[in-house]
Structure 1
Amino acid sequence: MLYGIAAAIAALVLSAVLAALLRVPALRFGVTARRGRSRPLPLLGGVAVVLATCGVAVAGHLGGAVRLGEGVGALLVAGAAVAALGLAADVWRLRARFLAAGTAVAAACVVPYEETGLAGGLLAVGWIVCATLAFRSLDHADALAGTVGAVTAFGAAACAAVEVMDGLAVLLSVLAAALTGFLMHNWPPARTALGACGALFTGFVLASAAVLTRAGYGPVPTAAVLFSLAALGVADVVLVVVSRRRAGRPLLQSGPDHLAHRLRRLGVAPRGVVVLLGAGASGGVLAGVLVHSGWVGAGAVFWVAGGVLAVVGGLLHVHPYGPRRQPRVPAPAASPQASTPLRVRNG
């Protein structure tokens, strides 16, 4: 207990310090994004989260305070590999298919096939990839991904504690604390952002941890828990996909059509957006923890699904795209006869 508190404090402080220090190299080497700002936003905040989480977790393992265990150690190594892939995407702008393929390979190394079976393991790999990419899409507004990640990490840690998976619970608590330290620099107006490195790492660790805690359970309650933990990310993806299909826009083309963008169009302030969406994520996470703990039945997921459908249906009425520009039609050239003035004879 005392080690968990000390580890969380260390991760919070280390993440906050590293996030501040990494702003300078990010600006110097151009690892930035605009996001509608007049000034570039550094993207190496996620590196601070990764270093703080891995550093504190490995230090506790080597010091003998809390053993991570074989499965959790593999998860941490795979998460670091996904983070490296995300860092490459921040620097060189890799295509989404490369990120999906790399995440799938990492997920295949984490899934416990002896408990899930081959078919269940393949479904778990697909879920981890989808959930990781969905979490990355939440990094479209200041503090949103960090807030949702911290809330989900606390919920996943509670699920791991129920299963007496101490190493996994400590890792998730350290991740939540690292995200909290990062939020000191990412709260609106943000001075740094997670980037693909931090977003992919956080999403991968959360999705994989949820799979590990649910290994060996029935498919229906497992699906209910996994959906509830990732309800906000699911809502964002469904909203974007439906909106872009209806507008005839490419699915992989970025645009101002995510959850936070639409709330901003409704007049909600940036900090209000984070509070609203963070509260929504907390509701889904709480439902997932209660179902996993057995305090409520799997039917509670229908309330979460209803909330997702209500949010998506309501925000679909907020039009995020401006009017399309009409093609400029060149004016017809004036004929010589039309340009010559007519002479009127007298008499």
Structure 2
Amino acid sequence: MSAADVVSRRRFDPRWGGIAITLATVVPSAAALGLTDLRITAILLAGTAVAALGQICDMTRLPVLARLTVQSVAAGGVVLCGVQITLTGHWPDGPVTVMWIVGVANCFSLLNSTDRLLPVVAAVTAVFLAGAALILAEPAVAVLLATMACASLGLLGSRTPMGSSGSLFIGFVLTCSAVLLIAGRSQDTIGAGLVLPALVAIADTGFAFACTGQISERLHRGGLDLQTVAGTYGAAAGAAGLLCVCVAIGLLAPLTAAAAGTVLVVVAAFQCRTRRVTPASRMAPEQTPPLIGAGAVPQQARGPHRWDGEGLF
């Protein structure tokens, strides 16, 4: 069996961690909240549909257009149930909300391609968003987010891959929850409430599309190990979440908090020191991992920072 065959089979195996985190979030939330809040019910149902889509993507190839269509329909259902950005108060708010939910959910999904960073970011973000929800008198949203935080923490010590199923579910629920919390508020509060909870995911995706590699890759090239990189991402998500809570309390102006968080993440990412890594093709014969010649694909052969080869969409 060739190395390409091994990678292909790994790519299309189902990721059971995604099923676990979906069930661990949906079932307790539905049991605690019931079906009385239409907005929460819509988020749970749409999130489950997106998770099912991700599970199918883990097992077989789907065109990008088909994936985006399903995600857009799920986001549209949530919008029809009252989870909507209220920038203008007119019909354009609906399409804008759908595009934001789908885009940011996929930004969170991209975090799942490196070092299992997503459970750390999801747990920290959900905890601070739950605190903001309590401050803003949205206890149902707080329960949903607290449940997701516990489910994400449960995957930190597990080696079960999350896959597209779990990553899309997490991104979808976190983004919808943030949209729900800022609905009907001032435009500057809406801007800060949308950007801050997703700041780490958006910045990471921005660096990836700017052809500089994800921020985690820069940290790895700087010599940081997996645990330190995960802790760095968690600290960044915590800082952004703390700014969210400060805005909810009224300690900071929304635009000031959003600008401060953005500058902090971008400057920190650019300050990451990199070092040259000897390409695998130039390694001395005695340095070549013995398993490569046997057709296996060890972690070193795939790169120490990637664990399952998943990407955006």
Distance 2:83 2:224 in 1: 45
1:219 aligned to 2:175?
A: no
Q: Percent of pairs identical after alignment?
A: 32
Cα 1:114/1:140, change in 2 over 3 Å? closer
Q: How many angstroms apart in 2 are the aligned matches of 1:285 and 1:308?
A: 13
Q: Partner residue of 2:22?
A: 50
Deviation at 1:242, TM superposition (A): 0.9
Matches of 1:114 and 1:196, distance apart in 2: 25
In the superposition, the TM-score normalised over structure 2's length comes to 0.78
Assess if the C-alpha contact under 8 Å between 2:221 and 2:273 holds in 1.
no
Structure 1: segments with no counterpart, 5+ residues: 1-29, 35-40, 186-190, 245-256, 326-347
Deviation at 1:61, TM superposition (A): 3.6
1:91 aligned to 2:59? yes
Q: Which residue of 1 aligns with 2:253?
A: 297
Amino acid at match of 1:128: I
Count of residue pairs brought into register by the alignment = 269
Give the structure with higher Rg (CA). Answer: 1
Equivalent position to 2:102, from 104, 129, 138 = 129
- Offset of residue 314 of structure 1: 3.5
Secondary structure in 1 matching 2:251: coil
Q: Does 1:168 align with 2:156?
A: no
2:63 is equivalent to residue 106 of structure 1:
no
Separation of aligned partners in 2, 1:267 and 1:305: 25
Q: CA deviation at 1:184?
A: 1.8
How far apart, in 1, do the equivalents of 2:258 and 2:177 lie?
A: 19
Conservation of the 8 A alpha-carbon contact between 1:134 and 1:237: yes
Aligned-residue offset at 1:266: 1.1
Q: Residue 204 of structure 2 aligns to a residue in which SS?
A: helix
Label 1:196 to 1:313 Cα distance change in 2 as closer, same or farther (>3 A).
Answer: same
2:217 corresponding residue in structure 1 = 261
Equivalent residue in structure 1 for 2:233, among 239, 263, 277: 277
2 CA distance for matches of 1:229 and 1:321?
Answer: 37
Instruction: Within 5 Å, give how 1:65-80 maps onto structure 2.
Output: 69-80=37-48
Structure 1 residues 305 and 56 mapped into 2: Cα distance closer, same or farther (>3 Å)? same
**Equivalent in the alignment of 1:307:** 264
Residues 318 and 231 of structure 1: CA distance in aligned 2, closer, same or farther (over 3 Å): farther
TM-score (norm 1): 0.71
| 1:119 aligned onto 2:92 | yes
SS at match of 2:210: helix
Q: Is the 8 A contact 2:108 2:171 kept in 1?
A: yes
- Distance between the aligned counterparts of 1:319 and 1:94, measured in 2? 36
SS, match of residue 193 in structure 1: coil
User: Could you list the per-position Cα deviations for residues 286-340 of structure 1 after superposition, in whole angstroms to 9, with x for gaps in the alignment?
Assistant: 1122113322111121111112321343459778996999xxxxxxxxxxxxxxx
| Matching residue within 133, 150, 160 for 1:192 | 160
Shift in alpha-carbon separation, 1:243–1:316, aligned structure 2, 3 A: farther
Runs of 4+ in 1 over 6 A off after TM superposition: 316-325
User: What CA distance in whole angstroms lies between the structure 2 residues aligned with 1:157 and 1:321?
Assistant: 44
Q: Are 1:182 and 2:150 counterparts?
A: no
| Bigger relative contact order, structure 1 or 2 (CA pairs below 8 A, ≥6 apart) | 2
Work out the CA distance in 2 between the residues paired with 1:102 and 1:316: 40
Report if aligned partners of 2:14, 2:59 keep a CA contact under 8 Å in 1. Answer: no
